[in-house]
Structure 1
């Protein structure tokens, strides 16, 4: 008795056989019916949209396991001296300041989101096949390399504004006297940390999509990343 595979399974098998030799060629970025380059752009677009949708919620940074911003050591974060932690940043005050820092990060991320979207549309992808068969965050790593630290400067004004509620004379002078960090230094530190948090959030979404591309409902992502695993 001859058993015939369902049409959909045969199509998947044939697509996989067609894709395998192409992925093995470093310089090839397309095959009949779809483009590996466009698949990477779609992957980054969806990953960044999902990441920003979470980060831009109220308390989005603070509630995130990968994006929450800790206070710098000078303000009682990891590595803070026992004196700073005991005198300035105990209990409710430290929690309020941490939430303020993460709220400011959200203000910065609002400015970053359109820049990331523009970068994805114009990003140069020299070896799409290598990104497709790369690690779980290969596309995000490419995006971060392409953008450099450009998000930091773009986010600085938003983060500066977001931190102003904590910039009253008593708090600012107390922190400066106890830690040696001024307000501009705090804004710069939070901007740097926000930059890193954004890419961690995008990378997390990319890894999730690669692990289950069918969940996206995208035929392109399902075809490329489903068969490349």
Structure 2
């Protein structure tokens, strides 16, 4: 397979993004082979797929890292740790609801700050995709790219996120405050112990929220392939002549 007509390249890419089989893809490409005014190489098709993913990933990461990206998004807002819900309720009952709200806001500000570090990690993972990785994504589930990124970036994201969130929470003594509250609560007889490691909780929730946004963007790419257009994508995703 050497060249594909640029005027019909949109057919190939739409099939790619809805998850066709390799046989179906090969048959379709075969139908499109022949003389072309502006040839499109298979290398460009691969680059176009990666570029589409990078554009979508960048958008998702950008949403998360914006001011209130977590705090005002109910889908990914980080709440008071669920296992410490009784602690939160007790604080609110004694008139410290404002402090609890401030604490929650701080959690989310830390996540927003950490999310700024996500994009280069994602981009590096996408650029290092092999042919096998690409086919696994193209033939996989609707969140196949998101799952690929989880497998290849979660460790790096945790390493990047945790110190940033830690520093953000330390600035307002949130980590110490939370740790003191939970430690005191755990001393109450017969209560279920809770985890005082706030950094680990906030980091995990921040990464979960980021991947939720990434999955939404992946779904968008698959459903609306022409929506992410650069010069290469216009060629690969087939702007009709």
TM-score if structure 1 supplies the norm length? 0.73
Counterpart of 2:147 (choices 141, 155, 158) is 141
Contact 1:34 1:220 in 2 (8 A): no
Aligned to 1:94: 100
In the aligned structure 1, how far is the partner of 2:198 from the partner of 2:91?
A: 16
Q: Does 1:72 align with 2:69?
A: no
In the aligned structure 2, how far is the partner of 1:24 from the partner of 1:109?
A: 35
In the aligned structure 1, how far is the partner of 2:111 from the partner of 2:65?
A: 9
* CA-based RMSD: 3.4
Q: Does 1:173 align with 2:185?
A: no
Counterpart of 2:199 (choices 174, 181, 187) is 187
Deviates more, 1:167-176 or 1:52-61: 167-176
Aligned to 1:163: 169
In the aligned structure 1, how far is the partner of 2:226 from the partner of 2:201?
A: 39
Aligned to 1:153: 159
Q: Does 1:37 align with 2:46?
A: yes
Q: CA deviation at 1:139?
A: 1.4
Write out aligned runs for 1:1-229 (5 A).
Answer: 11-12=7-8, 16=11, 24-25=21-22, 32-35=40-43, 36-76=45-85, 81=86, 84-89=87-92, 91-164=97-170, 165-167=172-174, 172-178=179-185, 180-182=194-196, 185-218=197-230, 221=233
Q: Residues 159 and 211 (structure 1 numbering): CA distance in 2 closer, same or farther, change over 3 Å?
A: same
Q: Residues 103 and 64 (structure 1 numbering): CA distance in 2 closer, same or farther, change over 3 Å?
A: same
In the aligned structure 2, how far is the partner of 1:67 from the partner of 1:170?
A: 23
Contact 1:156 1:187 in 2 (8 A): yes
Q: CA deviation at 1:111?
A: 2.6
* Structure 2 segments unaligned to the other structure (5+ residues): 1-6, 30-39, 187-193
Question: When the two structures are aligned, how many residues end up with a matched partner?
Answer: 206
What are the superposed Cα offsets for residues 43-71 of structure 1, whole Å, 9 maximum, x if unpaired? 22111210121111111111224322222
Q: Residues 178 and 15 (structure 1 numbering): CA distance in 2 closer, same or farther, change over 3 Å?
A: closer
Indicate the structure whose relative CO is greater, using CA pairs within 8 Å and at least 6 residues apart. 2
Contact 1:123 1:143 in 2 (8 A): no
Q: Residues 169 and 198 (structure 1 numbering): CA distance in 2 closer, same or farther, change over 3 Å?
A: closer
* Structure 1 segments unaligned to the other structure (5+ residues): 1-10
TM-score if structure 2 supplies the norm length? 0.69
Q: CA deviation at 1:20?
A: 6.2
Aligned to 1:5: none
Q: CA deviation at 1:175?
A: 3.6
What are the superposed Cα offsets for residues 179-198 of structure 1, whole Å, 9 maximum, x if unpaired? 5543xx11011111112211
